[in-house]
Amino acid sequence: MRIGELSRRTGVSERALRYYEEQGLLRPERRPSGYRVYRDVDVAAVRRIRVLLTAGLSTAQIVEVLPCMVDDDDLLAPICPELVDELVKQRDRIGAAIDELAATRANLDTIIANERRAS
């Protein structure tokens, strides 16, 4: 498929897809005309890229993670623990924020409950 169809199937803009290629996240074939040609697996790849980006990872980090993600047929690159560390740190940062917000919500619940009882 060409870039327009991949864009429609993923909801990601053509500009973003070209940017992902520029960053080494995608490596589409080229027709003699220069047109990019993507494979079906690229649809899943783009979705994974989106998940990681919205999780707060940079394209540079994703470029290291992607080869480690298991559905690339047979290619499994060696893992650097340093990278796993980064992922764990990111997860923990998110966890801390969740805890903060949860505590706040609990306090808010108490206030709401007290207010209802008082009135």
Q: Identify the residue among 29, 32, 34, 70 touching its own copies (CB under 8 A).
A: 70
Q: Identify the residue among 9, 47, 48, 59 touching DNA (CB under 7 A).
A: 59
Contact 68, 79 (CB under 8 A): yes
Closer CB to DNA, 35 or 79, in the complex = 35
Q: Is 36 helix (H, G, I), strand (E, B) or coil?
A: strand
- Which pair of tokens denotes residue 23? 């960053």
Residue 53 interacts with DNA (CB under 7 A): yes or no: yes
Q: How many residues bind DNA (CB under 7 A)?
A: 23
**Cα 49 from Cα 90, distance rounded (Å):** 16
**One-letter-per-residue 3-state SS of 42-79:** HHHHHHHHHHHHHCCCCHHHHHHHHHHCCCCCCCCCCC
Closer CB to DNA, 76 or 93, in the complex = 93
The CA R_g of the chain, rounded to the nearest whole Å, is: 21
Q: Identify the residue among 11, 24, 35, 85 touching DNA (CB under 7 A).
A: 35
Residue 83 interacts with DNA (CB under 7 A): yes or no: no
Interface residues with DNA (CB under 7 A) are 2-5, 7, 13-16, 18-20, 23, 31-36, 53, 58-60
